[in-house]
Amino acid sequence: MKISEKLKKLIKEGKRDKALWEISLVDDYNEGEMVVFDCVEDESGELLEAALKQFVRVRENRYREHGGWVHSLSHFTKHLWARKMTAWIKQLNEIAFTGANHLGDCNCCYRLVSDFVKYAEWSEKPEDYGLTPENMMWVESCGEREYMNADLRRIAASPFASEAEFVLFKLRDPEHQRNHWGEPRLDNVHKLIVRLHELGAYLPEFDGLEEQLVRERVEQLKTMLERKQKQKDEYAEREVKSLTEQIQELMLILENMTKK
C-alpha cells in the first residue's frame, strides 16, 4: 500500500501519531505532493505542516529534478493561499526561485508568479511572498517570459494604496481589456467600470471604452476577412463564414450600445 493510501486511512481513523510517522517516510516529490493533498484539510494544520516540511526535504538540487519538484508544488499552492499560509508560500517560492536562478531550471516558476496575481489582495506586498528582483532573475531567461508580462506588470505596481487605484490599474491594462486573441473582454471591463463608480473613482477617460474596444475588434476582423476572401480553399471558406458571423455579432452589440 502506498504511503498516501495508508495516510488517508490513518487520518480517517484519527491516528495522528502514526499519520505523522507515515508522512516522514515520503522520499520523492510525487508522493510528497499526494501527501500534501491528503493533509490540506487538516484543521489543526499539524499534518499539513509536517507534509510541507517533508516535501521540502525530498527536493533534489539538480537540473530537471528541481523543475519536477516545482511542477508538483504548483499543483497545491492554491490551497496554501486559501489558508493564508504566507510564511510557507514565501519559503517555497524562494526555494523554487533560488533553484531556477542557480540551476537554470525555471520549470513552472511562472505558475508561482501567477498565484500572486490570482490570489493576493490589492494591499499585499510581492516581497512578502518572495517575489523580489533578486529572487526572480530567472525571468529574463525563462521560455515563458512573453506569457508573464501582465503578471509582472501587476507585481511591479503592487502594493496599491487603495482598491480604487487597483481597479484603475486593471482597467488601464491591456490584459484586462482584451484576451490573447484580441477579443474585447467586455464583461470584465464593464464590471471594473461599475466598481469604479461604486468607489466614487470613475474617470472620464473611460467614457466610451467598451464601444471603442468593440469597434477596434470589428476593424481587426474586417481586415482578416478581406485577406481570407482572397484565398480559394475549403479552410478559407470556413474562416470567412466564422469571421462574418463574429462581425455580425459584434455589430449587434454595438447597435445595442448606441441605443442606451
Report which of 121, 156, 120, 117 is spatially closest to residue 136, judged by C-alpha positions. 156
80 pLDDT above the threshold of 90: yes
Split into its structural domains, the chain has a count of 4
140 burial level (CB within 10 Å; 0-12, 13-18, 19+): exposed
* Inside any domain, residue 64: no
pLDDT given at position 236: 86
Could you tell me if residue 36 is inside a domain?
yes
Q: What is the pLDDT of residues 144-183, one digit of tens each?
A: 777 789 999 999 999 999 999 999 999 999 989 998 888 9
Three cell numbers written together for 197? 463608480
User: What pLDDT is attached to residue 200?
Assistant: 97
Domain-embedded: residue 183:
yes
SS3 of residue 130 by DSSP: coil
Range with lowest mean pLDDT among 4-8, 23-27, 90-94, 196-200: 4-8
* 140 shares its domain with 187: no
Among 121, 138, 159, the domain-final residue is 159
- Residue 258 or 57, more confident: 57
Say whether both 199 and 128 belong to one domain. Answer: no
Rounded CA-CA distance 57/20 in Å is 15
Q: Residue 134: what pLDDT?
A: 95
- As a whole number, mean pLDDT of residues 131-142 equals 92
The predicted structure's pLDDT at residue 35: 95
Say whether both 216 and 184 belong to one domain: no
* 197 and 221 housed in the same domain: no
Note whether residue 83 is domain-resident: yes
Instruction: pLDDT band for 19, please (50, 70, 90 cuts).
Output: very high
- Tell me, yes or no, whether 68 lies in a domain: no
84 and 10 share one domain: no
Neighbours of 256 (CB within 10 A): 9
> What does the pLDDT read at residue 169?
97
* 144: helix, strand or coil: coil
147/103 same-domain check: yes
Residues 33-69 pLDDT 10s: 999 999 999 888 999 999 999 999 999 999 999 999 9
CA–CA gap between residue 10 and residue 13 (Å, rounded)? 5
**Mean pLDDT on 7-29:** 92
* CA distance readout (Å), 205 to 197, 227, 237: 13, 34, 40
Distance of alpha carbon 199 from alpha carbon 251, whole angstroms? 31
155 and 81 both lie in a single domain: yes
Q: What is the mean pLDDT of residues 71-100?
A: 97
- Same-domain status, 153 and 101: yes
Q: Give the mean pLDDT of the chain.
A: 93
Residue with C-alpha cell 491516528? 15
Distance (Å, whole) CA 41 – CA 31: 17
Q: Are residues 255 and 222 in the same domain?
A: yes
Domain assignment present for residue 24? The answer is: yes
Record the pTM: 0.86
- Cα 186 to Cα 50, 249, 258, distances in angstroms: 45, 13, 15
**Do 175 and 129 have their domain in common?**
no
pLDDT at 260 over 70: no
Residue 1: pLDDT over 80: no
* DSSP-assigned states of every residue in 80-103: HHHTT-HHHHHHHHHHHHHHHHHH
149 located within any domain: yes
Q: Is 67 among the domain residues?
A: no
Q: How far apart are CA 171 and CA 189, in angstroms?
A: 7
Residue 124 near residue 89 (C-beta atoms within 8 A): no
Cα-flanking dihedrals φ and ψ of residue 228, to 5°? -70, -35
Last residue within a domain, chosen from 15, 30, 58? 58
DSSP one-letter code for 160: P
Higher pLDDT, 196 or 235: 196
Task: Report which DSSP code applies to 44.
Answer: T
| Domain that includes residue 192, residue range | 160-206
